Amino acid sequence: MRPLLLAMLLIAASPALGQETKEIGHVNTALTNLGLTRSHRVVIERFDDPEVSGVSCYISQARTGGVSGMVGLAEDPARFGLSCTTTGPVRVTEGARRGERGERVYESNTSLFFKETRVHRFLDEERGVVVYMAWSTKLVDGSPYNAVAVVPIRGPGGR
């Protein structure tokens, strides 16, 4: 029974969709349990869009500390920021989904059940930009928190 619980906790704590993320850093926002457990913090992670080369996105998210945060049972607050930047020539693949619902490019579980932070990509081909929107799958006061970042598509073949 314990190995199953441990496996569930590891799955809940890891980003989905198979994308690679890298923790860039964190700051502690509140000390918990006199410093005996992980503090509440804001964590910055980087991820790359699998269908748009030359773009890296950075998401900062609040993470709950304490004993429940250490073992993956805490619910992280739906508070985050998002910024995306060009890291080379921006190229949108033909496989990038277009449309009003966009395509999910990042997902991170923020509680053991039913709550995630997701980033969807949208293409505004009329303006030549890629739009990324971070949002929480748990509704907060009737409306999900969200953040938006925009990256221009440049150069020949970039569209």
**What phi and psi values does residue 122 have, to the nearest 5 degrees?**
-125, 145
Asked if 69 and 20 count as a contact pair (C-beta separation under 8 A), the reply is no
CA pair distance 49, 65, nearest whole angstrom:
29
Report pLDDT digits (tens) over 81-113.
Answer: 999 999 999 999 988 877 888 999 988 766 556
| Phi, psi angles (nearest 5°) of residue 74 | -80, 155
What DSSP line would sit under 39-92, residue for residue? PEEEEEEEEE-TTEEEEEEEEEEEE--HHHHHTT-SPPPS-EEEEEEEEEEEEE
Collapsed DSSP state (helix, strand, coil) of residue 2: helix
- Under 8 Å between Cβ of 43 and 80: no
Q: Judge if pTM exceeds 0.75.
A: no
Provide the pLDDT for residue 148. Answer: 94
Q: Please report which confidence band the pLDDT of residue 21 belongs to, taking 50, 70 and 90 as the band edges.
A: confident
Name the residue ranges covered by the structural domains of the chain. 2-152
